[in-house]
Structures are given as structure tokens and as C-alpha cells.
Structure 1
Amino acid sequence: MSEYVAVDTASPPGGDLFFTVGVVVEISDKDKFRSYYFEKIRNFLRTHQIEIPFPVIKARTIVDNLPSYEIRDGNQRLVQDLISNPGISRINISIGWYGADVQLGFKDSANLNGNTFASDYLEQYFNIVALWRYHKSHTQNLAPEALIDNVQGHITKAWKYCGNEFDLNFIPNGDLTYPSLSTADIIAYNLGTYLAGHEEDKLTNFPDIASEYIIQRRNWDVQPYIHAEAVNERYTDHIVPTLPYTIQDSIHYPHPVLFIHDEILSGEDKSVLPRTDFHAIARKWAYENDGCVVNLKPSRLPGILRSDDVIVYTKGSDSSVPRLLQDLHPTKELEIMDSDELIDELTS
């Protein structure tokens, strides 16, 4: 039996009809997979003189750090290497779109255009849809655990199905924390870009194009199983929500959780903190402890707090909030530290 799967999605911009690509990477040997991944990523970072304290990257890392004239070739070389990872046993591709109007039962409004439904609703939880199709498309040696780059949106029958079949782990910033989610992200981004260049083809041809793209790049010694399919209105009963309830992502965070309390950089531009070395070091901590990194939100903390979780406050932020939360949870063994302490612990 395979150890676990990693799921991520990408939606190429532009085009007359919206579509999203879901990639499920099944890992048969975690140690072999991670060793190969780090070797290839470190070589890539050295080649392009990218300095980061934790060598797990996403497609956006490449776009942000390479000159524009190198982005395409850099992406293509890296995705070739990552698809060839000998620790991968299957790659499942779902191409999602919606070609009909949709009536959401919990909204008192007119029918939604299919494109609008796909971009405003389906995209938010397409990780779950792709995971559901992985499980329905195979019958043997299915992985029991799923790592999923964080999900939001409404619950569906596909969500209920996955909840009963998998040990689910939602990872905020997962594609910058775990090599398997990084791999799924980079494959999804590159495959989506490749498919967007085939606008002259019908969407119904995209699964065959996607399957050929992956097969040409897979490891021919291991020959992982490749499957690609369309997910659209034929699966309405499983992918269109009928109730107003939304997915509670925090219930599925893997622990220990490192909560970051920041009052300095988490203002209007919430993208600043995740791009710092400190945040990368925090993600390294999460990777080494099989956990995740989450921004501290005191209002929802009590329901998800566990012993051995850690609250880190950044320099200049008020430490009284984390310490008060620690005092109010005397039955939990929580560790409080400042950002300098975490950096020293992981870089000494």
C-alpha cells in the first residue's frame, strides 16, 4: 500500500472558459521521495543562485526569483525532474470546469453561469474534488492519508466521501512546507500553463493532453500509473454544494501547530510575512515535526489547541496575548517563544 497522497491545484489565468487542474501525487516510499526531491531542488536553487533557508519551493518561487527570459525553461526542467521522482507510484489529474448553469440550493438567486460557478465556488475546494476522483479511479493499494494544500469553501458530497475514506491533513502554505505538496503545486502550475496553450482544442481533449504530458516525463524505471479525467457537470451531485455549511479547515491541521502572532507585518499586505526567512524557518520546524504553521487567531484557538503546540511572536509584537492564552489553557503544555529564539534553535 502507498503511504500517502499530496493534492494541489492551479487555475491558469485568461481564456474564454475557466478551468482548474487538480494534481494528486501518490507516494510509495517517503524517504526515497524526499531524498530525491531535496537533491533536485538544491541543484535548482544553486543553478539559479536562489538563497532560501528551507529548500521547499512552489511554482511562484520560480516566477518571483528567475529573470523573465528564464522562467519557462527553468519551470520545464524542474517539472521534468519532479515528475521523474522514483518515490511516486501514481499521478492522478483532474481537469475541472462547468459547462451548464447552476442553481445553488442555499442561495435565493438566479442560476449561476457555469464559468462563474467554477471560478467562484468549485476552484475553492477542487483539491477535495481531485482527491475524490483519485479514490474513485482506482481499486487497489489506495493511500490512507492525504496532505492537502489548504482548502476553503462549501461542503459537498465529494467532501463527505473523502472524510470517510482518508485521514485528512490540511496544510496552510503546504506547498512551501512539504516536498510532496511542492511537487503537486509545480506539476499543477506547469500542466495548467501547458493546457492553456491548447485553447484551440476542446476542453474534453484536455485529459488526453494532460495524460500524455505526464507520461512523457515519468520515471521509466518505476513507471508510475497515470490517470487523467474531466470533472464537470456530469458529477453535479458530488461537486455542487446544496447546503450553506463551509469546510472547517482548522479541525484538520496536523499537530503540533506553530502559531505565529505578528502585529508588525500582518497588516494590509499579508504576503510580506510568508516571504521572510523567519517564516521559512517556521515551515522548516513544521516539516521536521510533521505539523504546520498557522497565523494566530485567538477567537478560534480553543477548539484546535493541543499539547506540544507552539506560539511564536515576532519581534515588536505584544507577547502578552500569547502568554495570556497559555495561562488560560493550563491543561495544555504550550511553548511560548519569540522569533529570535525559533531562529536560533533551527539555525544553530
Structure 2
Amino acid sequence: MDVTNVRAVTPDFIKMQQLQDEIFQLIDTWDMKVLAGVREQLGQLRTLMLTVERAFNEALIGAIVLLEDRDFIPHQQAADSHYRLSSVLSRLSQLYTELTRQNQRLELFPLSSFEEALPELRSRAASKQQQAMVFSQRLTQLRQQKADIVQAIEVFDRPSIANVLKGLIPSEEEIDQIMGLVSDPRIDAGLVKLVTQKLGKHADALQGAKTFSDLSAARVRLDTKIEEALADQQQAQHMLQAAQMELDATTALCTIGPRRNAWLAEMRKVEQECHVQTSKLSATMNLEVAKVALQELCAYLKSIQMAYDHS
């Protein structure tokens, strides 16, 4: 086999190592951010890749040991030499059958579930984002209601206006009538009207409030609602982060499949070449021809071992 052909059937072990490192790095980065079942699946994939690599090494070394310096030239009985050839071919078949089996296990290892899960995960993340937005808006609304009520209390509680209002919340029509009785120059009709208009926007929070005491009670109720809304908002944000993290993890893990396939394609070059070379052999073939063919196979396998050791 010439150099060009050897290169064509020699795995790129440097590329394989890079792909394997990337796969294992993806697993290490994301396995704690997915469901337990997926985490277990990733652990199985790591174990299987290492098993395939071990099967490759065992087949490679076992075949080299089996074939090195092997001689089938008959001395007295040709049947004995053919029997030894048959034994060698049988052992070779066992070695590469196991390698093929492990390669097939890796090839068939299910990774499509990552891609299949993406639509649902995207939908869930979008739903959680919408929920978080609703809770955030609710919290903002409650805080604004409280701020407006607090402002009204601060204005109405000033002695000069409190004495005039007698503890009652004025209507906009009443403000112009009573402002002439207010002696504090810092309080004008515009300010009182402003806080009164703001209160008018929060009927649900005020629950029919008519007095300053009612405003204070509304503020207390809002404190409770704000505390509850804050807890809801934090919970919604946590659920959004969890959903987004699972989506990000699954999206990243989708890239494992192509890397696994590329890694396996390199690994299978040896399996395929050995199949090509051994398919020409049989226990009844000419012993000289068999010896030359097995020597070529051994030389090929040694070149693979050298490339592997130097990678």
C-alpha cells in the first residue's frame, strides 16, 4: 500500500482527540443544567466513547501481536498450516467483530432527543418569560400605587391643609373652594389636584377610601401585596432562568451529534480497511498469498499504531 493510500485509510487522531475533548467539555459544562435522565444519557455517551477507543486499541494491538512474524509455509502437512491460517483468521474476525459491535453501539446511541426537545423547550422558555413579565409589571404597578398614595398622605398630612380638609380626601371640585383657606405657600391647588388625580387612577387599591385613615390602610394593604408580588416575581424569574438554562444546555448539546459522527467516521477507517483486506482471505487459500496479505495487513496496523502513539 503506497503512502497516499495509507493516509486515506489512517484516522486523523489529532482531529479525533480534539472532537473528543470538545464533546467531553460540552458534557462537563452542561450536564448539571439538564434533567437527570439527560445527565445519565450524557454519562453513558462518555463511557461508550471510551469503550470504543479501548476496543480499538485492543483490536489493534491484538491483531499486530497475532500477525507479527506469522509464517504459514507448510513443512510436512499442508493441512496443519491451513488449520493455523484458519485459526488466525478466526481470531482476527473476533477482534474486529468486537470493534465493529462497539462502533455500531456508538453510531446508534440516541442523540436525536436533543433536537427533538428544542421546540418544546423554546416554547416553555417563551411562556416563562411572558409570565415573568406579567409579574414584573404587576410589581411595578403596585409600587407606583404605593408611591402615589404616600405622596398624597404627605401632602394631606401637612398641618395647614389637614386642618382645612378635616381628615377627608377632597374631590377636584372641592379643591378650588378650600385652597383659599390654606395658609402654607408651599401648597398650591395644582399640587393638591395632582395627587388627587393620581389617587383617582388607583380605585382598586383604595377600595372606596374617603379619609386619610383610609389612605393609610390602603398603604398597609399595598405593602402586603408588594411583598407577595415580589415573591411571585422572584419565583417567576427563577423559573425563567431554569427554563432558559435548560434551553441553552440542550441547544449546546445538539452539537454533540455531529462531533460524535465525525469522531466515529475517523475511527471506522481502520474497521473498514481491515474488512477490505480480510475479505480477500480464506482458510483454504494459497498459503504464500495469505502470508503476503497478512504481512501487508500487519504493516498497515503498525502504521496505525505509530500514528496513534504520535498523536
TM bracket, shorter-chain basis: under 0.3
TM-score (norm 2): 0.19
TM-score normalised by structure 1 residue count: 0.17
- Give the helix-richer structure, 1 or 2: 2
Between Structure 1 and Structure 2, whose CA radius of gyration is higher?
2
